[in-house]
Amino acid sequence: MSAYTIGASPAVFRSCPVHSHESWELVINTQGSGTAEINGKKYAFQPGTLMCIPPRLRHNKYAEEGFYDLYIHTQQFPLSRSRRMDPTEPVLVSDDAEKTFESLFSLLLRLHYKGDSSASMFIFRAVMQLLEERLSSAGRDSVTEDIKNRLIASFTNPEINLTAMIADSGYSTDYIRRKFRAETGMTPGEYLTGLRITFARELLERRGSLKLSVNDVSLMCGFYDVRYFSRVFRKITGCAPSRYVGNGEVNKK
């Protein structure tokens, strides 16, 4: 019996019917963004999202503009042996900037069609090894701290992708939100907003000496839209950023 089977979408689809497999299904999405429903829960996907779906979980996918993916079916999912797994939830991973997973899946598919079983097995093992390396360090005890550190390091980036960051942890969004809230009292999104508004307060207190406009502060804190920044700032602090002085005081001029 083969250690795996590999395939690809025959075309770009908007949706696929509900189905399940007796083996793990590793699906790397290469085109399109949408939603996958797995065991009754919804997960966002985009190009570069690798979804590792446990056996016998019913699932489907939908993307308004269509999607294309590559997939591997195997019984040899590495973390089923090396770490306790929740058999009712998928494991999600984000591909790196070099698209390593996508490249390996594509190469494996080409070798499979050529009938080169020796080279194919080598690449399959490389996929499994890379997957285990990517997820083995994402222990449940450190996942919240890891996300916090990554948010602290990148909260000023307006293009930060929180969905991809959570997917990269290897756990579902629902699990991360519950664990993050239990340990910090807020969701990852709320934590990110808190970092940005705290930094905004510091900048606004020195706005005169730094010669910064509210729009400048908005961009420096990771907000593209100054109107949205102003709404969020007012909601949290109780006053508009243009009137903020510091220490809870408001400029009444």
Report pLDDT for 109.
94
Report pLDDT for 172.
84
CATH code for the part of the protein at 4-136: 2.60.120.280
> Cβ(221)–Cβ(196) under 8 Å?
yes
CATH code for the part of the protein at 139-248: 1.10.10.60
Which amino acid is it at 175? Y
- Among the residues of 94-225, which ranges form H helices? 100-114, 117-136, 143-154, 162-168, 173-184, 188-205, 207-210, 214-220
Spans of the chain below 70 pLDDT: 1, 79-86, 136-142, 246-253
Could you give the angle at the alpha carbon of 72 between the alpha carbons of 69 and 76, nearest 5°? 150
Q: Where are the domains of the chain?
A: 4-136, 139-248
Q: Which tens digits make up the pLDDT trace of 117-134?
A: 878 888 998 888 888 877
Report pLDDT for 192.
95
Report pLDDT for 1.
56
Longest CA span, the chain: 79
Could you give the angle at the alpha carbon of 21 between the alpha carbons of 9 and 24, nearest 5°? 85
Q: Please report the DSSP string for 16-69 in residue order.
A: EEEE--SSEEEEEEEE--EEEEETTEEEEE-TTEEEEE-TT--EEEEEEEEEEE
